[in-house]
Amino acid sequence: MIKMAIITSFLGQTKDRFHLYNEPKSLEEKFEIMKGIKGYDGVEIVYPYEASDPEATKALVMNYGLHVAAVNVNVKADPEFRNGGLTSNMMGVRNKAVRFMNEAKDFAASIGADKVTCCPLGDGYEFSFQSDYGKAWRHLIETFGEAGSYREEIPLFIEYKPSETRGKCFIDSASKTLCLLNDIQCRSMGITMDFGHSLYGNENPAEALALIAESPYPYYIHINDNDGKWDWDYFCGSKHFLEYVEFLYYLKKYGYKDYITSDTSPTRWDIKGTFEINSRITNKIWDLLDRIDNETFGRLIDGNDYLATWRFIEENILNLK
C-alpha cells in the first residue's frame, strides 16, 4: 500500500470568503479522527499555528501510532507577512521568515520528521510596477538559501503555487522553482509538488513531475483536484481522472517512495469520506498500473500512433472492452 498522509489542518475548521465549515478541533482531536480514516498513517502538521510544542506533539504522534510526513511552516499568516515575508524590503521581516523556517526545522527534528515544506503565498504582487522583480528574486535566493543551509539533515522543500494570497506568487511553477534551487545551489532543498497547483497553473502535472524528477532535487507530493481555474482542493479524480492516472504512472516510473499527502478541503462533504476517496482511488490506480503490460504501454507512449495508445487506455485503464 502507498504511504499516505493528511495535512491535519483540513481535519478541523476551514473557511472560504463567506462560510465556515466543520468545527474547530485540537491537534489531538484531529489525530483521533485519523484513527477512523482508512488508508492513512501519516500527518503533515502546520507550524507554528497548529503545533509548536515538540514534546507534546511527539507524544501525540506516538500515542496515535502516526508518522510525520512533513512539517508545513507557515510564513504568511503573521501581520508582518501580508506584503511578503521572504521578499520583504524590510530586513527584519525577512529575518523573521527565516527564523520561522529554522525553528520549523528544529521542531521537525524534535518530533521525528524528515523534512520541512514551505509555500511562500504572501510573496508576490498584483499590479504593474508594484514590485522590483530582480530584487525580490535576490531576496528569495538569500532567505531560502539561509534557511536551506540550516540543519541540512532536515531538507527544506519549496511548494509552488500560481496565486493566493497574492494575485501572482513569485514562485508559481515547477520550472521557476527549479531555477530558484539552481541559483541557491543547496542540495538539501527540494520541491513540494501539488497536483492541483500544477493544474490551475496551466501545467500538465505529469510533465511537471518528470521535469522535477529529472533534476538533482528531491520532491514531495500533495494531491487533490480542481477545475483548472482555481485551487478548489477537491478529492482526487473528480475533475481530471486520466491526468491523475498519468501523474501516478510517472510517480511509479520514477520510483517515488515518500508520502503522498492529501491537501484536500472537505468543506460541504464528510471529512472521513472525502479523505477515504483519495486513498481508495489512489491505491486502486496504483495497483492497476502494476497489473497492466507496462512494457507494451511504454512502447506505445514512445511510438507515433496515439490511436493505438488510446485503445490501450480504453481497454486496460478505463476497462472499456
pLDDT band at 1 (very low <50, low <70, confident <90, very high): confident
Best CA proximity match to 71, nearest among 117, 38, 111: 117
pTM over 0.85, yes/no? yes
Per-residue pLDDT averaged across 124-130, rounded?
A: 98
In the chain, the amino acid numbered 186 is C
Per-residue pLDDT averaged across 159-183, rounded?
A: 97
The residues that bridge with 185 in the sheet, in sequence order, are none
- List CB contacts of 140: < 8 A, sequence separation 6 or more: 86, 87, 120, 123, 170, 171, 180
User: Would you state the pLDDT for residue 321?
Assistant: 86
User: Would you state the pLDDT for residue 161?
Assistant: 98
10-64 pLDDT per residue, tens: 999 999 989 999 999 999 999 999 999 999 999 999 999 999 999 999 999 999 9
User: Would you state the pLDDT for residue 168?
Assistant: 98
55-100 pLDDT per residue, tens: 999 999 999 999 999 999 999 999 999 999 999 999 999 999 999 9
Radius of gyration (C-alpha) of the chain in whole angstroms = 20
**What is the Cα–Cα distance from 265 to 297, expressed in whole angstroms?**
34
Count of CB atoms within 10 A of residue 232's CB? 19
252-306 pLDDT per residue, tens: 999 999 999 999 999 999 999 999 999 999 999 999 999 999 999 999 999 999 9
173-188 pLDDT per residue, tens: 999 999 999 999 999 9
198-257 pLDDT per residue, tens: 999 999 999 999 999 999 999 999 999 999 999 999 999 999 999 999 999 999 999 999
User: Would you state the pLDDT for residue 54?
Assistant: 98
**What is the Cα–Cα distance from 300 to 311, expressed in whole angstroms?**
10
User: Would you state the pLDDT for residue 141?
Assistant: 98
**What is the Cα–Cα distance from 245 to 258, expressed in whole angstroms?**
18
Superfamily the domain 4-291 falls into: Divalent-metal-dependent TIM barrel enzymes (3.20.20.150)
Please give the angle made by the CA atoms of 109, 115 and 121, to the nearest 5 degrees: 120
- Whether 314 has a pLDDT exceeding 90, the answer reads yes
